[in-house]
Structure 1
Amino acid sequence: MAGILIIAHAPLATALRECIAHIYGGCPARIGALDVLPDSDPVQVVAEATAEIERLREENGALVLTDMFGATPSNIAARLATVPEVRVLAGVNLPMLVRAVCYRTTPLDVLVEKALAGASKGVQAIGPSTPAPAECACAPTPCAEAAADALAKAAAGGVESGQAAACLPLGALKPAGAA
């Protein structure tokens, strides 16, 4: 399972991690947050980020998510892009982070692809011409797509059908508190 490190302008990194904890009823393991303050020493923050990546990284690596390309947090995160099995994405938003959490067990390049798709699909205009939600007014579970992908893979013979659920992290099928 890939570790995830969020590096952003304070207090965004911590706020995003708290959002994930809210969605899942507790923060999943191996998700770190590094808030960059206006007076932070970039050299010191790079050292902290490097240590945090070493703590979070798992067998399939780590994903670093940062807020705004070209800003100080992004420049700090870019230093981590040279670390083996670490990928860095700028433009983090909550849909990107939720998708990244859902796909942490996949290979790192698939995780990056899914996180980027989550970021772009999560940006929508809402207005009078927006199609009405489906019958159920509740939002789909955060990892519904991950569950569907695992079941499709099982059906295609990529995974034993009894092992399909094992392809997903605990709690992936629904957030805590969901029926």
Structure 2
Amino acid sequence: MRTLPAVTLIGSLAVLPLGLAACGSDDGNANASGGSWESPKVSDGNSESPKAVSDGAAESRQVVQTYLEAMTDKDVAKGRAQLCEPLRAAFDKTATSPNGDFSAAFTVDQAKVTGARVVAGKHEVTTSARVVAKSRKVPVNIVFTVTNADGWCIANEKLGGTPTPTPAAS
């Protein structure tokens, strides 16, 4: 049986800083729900109606930006405060683990919000980050699901997609 060198395995793990990726209330249909960056729609249960991205978009973008800053600063308490209550127990167990968002095995030296859209009544906020493990710099795209559950908070986090800029206001 052939085994991979430990350096390869550790290097692979270090570029995936998503300890929360398997957590949250995402049912896996967020990307397949048909949300559009230009004309997002949400369902009220009876019919689909247009909903402006700006309805809560500033708040959801700010929550995610604060979380990204916490990752960059390695401020676990600040990051935890951006999460919805159901995620906090899992976060407490994984945040500083080798694959957690706040692991000592790597740093996040650049991170920014790149877009936002409404999907199934929640906001998807796309981001672009650069993870540095040893001397290797790896770009990572992360999609956060943000909801207004007793205040705006992160309900899910997953690796994903190409960062798409939010359309310019006209």
Decide: shared fold, TM above 0.5.
no
Question: What TM bracket, shorter-length normalisation?
Answer: under 0.3
| Greater fraction strand | 2
Give TM-score scaled by structure 1 length.
Answer: 0.23
| Greater fraction helix | 1
Give TM-score scaled by structure 2 length.
Answer: 0.24
